[in-house]
Amino acid sequence: MRRTRPLAALCIVLVSVAGLSATAGARTTGGGEIMTNEKVIALIKARLSEELIIRMVENSSRTQFDVTVKGVLQLQEAGASERVISAMMDIYQKEIAEHDRDVRIHIQMLRSNIGEEYARAVRELVRYGSYAVPLLIEHSTNDDERVRAGCMEVLGRIADPAPASVEAVFQSLLDRHQAVRARAARAASMFDKKTVGPRLAAGLQRRTKVRDGYALALGYLGDLTYLPDLLKVADGAGPEVDRAAAAFALGLLGEPNDEVVNVLIDGVLDDTFRDLREASARALGRLATRMDPGARAEVAHAMAKALQRHRSGRDILALQMRFFPNRRTVEVLLDFLGDRDRSVSSSCWEALKAVTGEELPRDVEQWRGWWQIAQSQPRWREDVLRRPGPVASGRIPLAPAGKKAENEAEPDTPQERTAAPEDPFLP
């Protein structure tokens, strides 16, 4: 049998190696193919010299070697010499050191106050995937809360189901900084809900530690099984931060039944806790499109009452009123359009534009002139007919279960809800 000449053999090897698929978990970047154990074995089977194989290994721009005991034994069985295996191990150790350095640099960039830099660090860390998880866990107790919060965001996006990853997230639900707890809550919701749901619900029952992280996580999880647990906290006598988080989580769940709406109305009218008022208002804004007209009118009246009663948080309440377009809403927004607090007047202006569809400048006289004419139009006269009386403590009539209310939008997905803006708990 005629032997293949060395040059021809090399050509055959290069073609066969190029056809081998790269493993998906490559940790390096850049152009060029990835040199793997399989490709080294292919070179050995083609009877290339030891020196040539080592040179090809050392000159590869991208590598992904398996140098575990199993990987080394497979190489040895395929005929790899100790020099070839040693060269592969040297390169692997060098890459590990480089990757660790890069991951640590990106983790430190999580402390940046520049949005683009922070976003780039998150993207790079997510790209490393499970490889970055041990270092992210290590830095989840960093002295800088910005780093801790960033690590939670990345761990959530990677969603590595390893117990150590899940445990680090749950530990951060008790962090001393609210922003870290909020990021941990979002991260916890990214894991399997059958695994984390019961544990989050159990954490919500504890009264000796802060519970806002557990409440938020259950909201992000989007499982209505835990709605009664959240109602109990939102309507309870616990710390303000816990009640506010539970109220906001009720909005995330997207279920505006009568009990939920009444609890949130009570939160909006609360005379003591500003955070509870704001979180309840935001939750009602999220639920508005799924309420029936009677419930929306009742909520609009309650929010108008709260806007008149409380100066603190007035800008948030005004902005949320854009989801409740009726005559009462327009009138109260006009009353505060000229407020000396610019944030309040700006919120009223934005809400008025959303409610009316008009694009008038932020000028009180122009808006009042428009309203003097527009209030006689049918759409606003109809609102007078269903304008609610004082907020009652009784139950609010809603659409029957399983039936859409008038003008109800299609329900959004849990993913869309968790990606929605105006999340007051996230940094």
pLDDT in the model for residue 422: 60
For 184, residues 6+ apart whose C-beta sits below 8 A from its C-beta are 152, 169, 170, 172, 173, 175, 213, 217
d(CA 394, CA 124): 53
Q: What is the DSSP letter of 64?
A: E
> What is the distance between the alpha carbons of residues 69 and 190, in angstroms, rounded to a whole number?
33
What local confidence, expressed as pLDDT, does residue 32 receive?
Answer: 62
* pLDDT score, position 231: 96
- Cα–Cα distance, 210 to 181 (Å, whole number): 10
The confidence score (pLDDT) of residue 426 equals 65
Q: How far apart are CA 78 and CA 308, in angstroms?
A: 81
In this predicted model, what pLDDT tens digit does every residue of 186-213 receive, in sequence order? 999 999 999 999 999 999 988 767 899 9
Give the burial string for 378-399 (b: 16+ CB within 10 Å, else e): eebeebeeeebeebeeeebebb
The values of phi and psi at residue 5, to 5°, are: -70, 150
Give residue 285's pLDDT.
Answer: 94
Q: Where are the beta strands (DSSP E) in 187-231?
A: none
Pairwise CA distance, residues 200 & 177, whole Å: 19
Rounded distance between C-alpha atoms, residue 56 and residue 34, angstroms: 12
The region, left, alpha or beta by phi > 0 then psi within -120 to 50, assigned to residue 129 is: left
Strand 34-36 versus strand 62-64 pairing type: parallel
Q: Cα angle vertex 148, ends 101, 135, to 5°?
A: 30
- Residue segments in the chain with a per-residue pLDDT below the cut of 50: 1-31, 384-421
Both structure tokens of 213: 């992280």
Question: Which sign, positive or negative, has the C-alpha torsion 231, 237, 238, 243?
Answer: positive
The helix or strand, by DSSP H or E, that contains position 35, with its residue range, turns out to be strand 34-36
| Spatial distance between the Cα atoms of 333 and 175, rounded to a whole number of angstroms | 39
The pLDDT, as a whole number, for residue 97 is 82
Structure tokens at 348: 């009223």
Burial string for 32-53 (b: 16+ CB within 10 Å, else e) reads eebbbbbbbbbbbebebeeeeb
Name the residue with tokens 């139009």.
377
